[in-house]
Amino acid sequence: MGDIQSGAQSALHEQILEALGGDIVCGRLAPGARVLSADLAARFGVSRSAVREVVRVLESMGLVEVRRKAGVEVLPASRWDSYSPRLIRWRLESPQRIAFLHSLGQLRSAVEPLAARLAAENASSAQRAALVQAVMGMVQTARDADDEPYLRHDIAFHSTLLAASGNPLLDGLAGVVEEVLRGRTRHALMPHQAEPLALRLHQEVAACIASGDGPGAERAMQSIVAEADAAIGAIGDPADD
């Protein structure tokens, strides 16, 4: 809420988008609430042009609906299109973050094993090498698993795997998975040291894909996602800031 800081020059609509979107996703603007775009302009201290662009984007994400004469109406969560990376990020910043991470975990448990099997069949040799490389990077940085370098290798692993599936829709989930991994680290849901089991499973997936063992890759990836979801539960449940 409140005014927009005039620190970062330009990207004004970006800031307003973040503010408004965050307000809606976190529930500070409840579904059914109506706001007049003129009021928004006044509240944020910007022109109507800027507000209109923001509202258009929110509308395209299904967060709001704009009705002539009635202002913009906040829509219920069921109408949001949940796979916009921005929306994912907002949800990971909302108080219901833990529940949402579990939903993401369930989705990954269905999608990533399939992607692993397809990757074992379709990956290019460069991609197979990149997967092995990523795992090596994870092992080398495992002592600080809650730090940026480990995160980067983890992201590279999963992104490469999804891309290697050869299915553009599975690849399209790379951004979502990345937000999950980032959110997990950012919100201190990662152990300081990487789980040895997790590392071993990542190695196995990479090895199976390298050798073209689809079912093996699928099984190992199932274990990865199950382990990850369990870890969030263990850490996240007590300390629910």
Partner DNA sequence: ATCGTACATTATGTAGGACATATTGCAACC
Partner DNA sequence: GGTTGCAATATGTCCTACATAATGTACGAT
Q: Is 86 in the site for a copy of itself (CB under 8 A)?
A: yes
Q: Which of 1, 36, 110, 188 touches a copy of itself by CB under 8 A?
A: 110
Q: Is 83 in the site for a copy of itself (CB under 8 A)?
A: yes
Partner interacting with residue 66 (select from DNA, a copy of itself, none; CB below 5-8 Å by kind): DNA
CB 142 within 8 A of CB 194: yes
Q: Is 78 in the site for a copy of itself (CB under 8 A)?
A: yes
**What are the tokens at 46?**
């910007």
Closer residue to a copy of itself (CB): 114 or 139: 114
Question: What is the binding site for DNA (CB under 7 A)?
Answer: 9-13, 36-38, 45-50, 52-53, 55, 66-72
Closer residue to DNA (CB): 7 or 196: 7
86, containing H or E segment? helix 85-93
Closer residue to a copy of itself (CB): 38 or 110: 110
Q: Is 25 in the site for a copy of itself (CB under 8 A)?
A: no
Partner interacting with residue 9 (select from DNA, a copy of itself, none; CB below 5-8 Å by kind): DNA
Q: Is 13 in the site for a copy of itself (CB under 8 A)?
A: yes
Partner interacting with residue 239 (select from DNA, a copy of itself, none; CB below 5-8 Å by kind): none
**What are the tokens at 19?**
């503010």
Helix (H, G, I), strand (E, B) or coil at 71: strand
b/e map 74-108, b = 16+ CB within 10 Å: bbeeeebebebebbbbbbbebeebbebbeebbebb
Pairing state between β 64-67 and 71-74: antiparallel
Partner interacting with residue 141 (select from DNA, a copy of itself, none; CB below 5-8 Å by kind): none
Dihedral sign from CA coordinates of 38, 43, 47, 48: negative
**Nearest Cα to 84, choosing from 156, 13, 9, 176?**
176
Min dist. Cβ of residue 34 to DNA (A): 8
**Nearest Cα to 183, choosing from 90, 107, 54?**
90
Interface residues with a copy of itself (CB under 8 A) are 13, 49, 52-54, 56-57, 60-61, 77-78, 80-86, 100, 103-104, 106-107, 109-111, 113-114, 118, 163, 167-172, 175
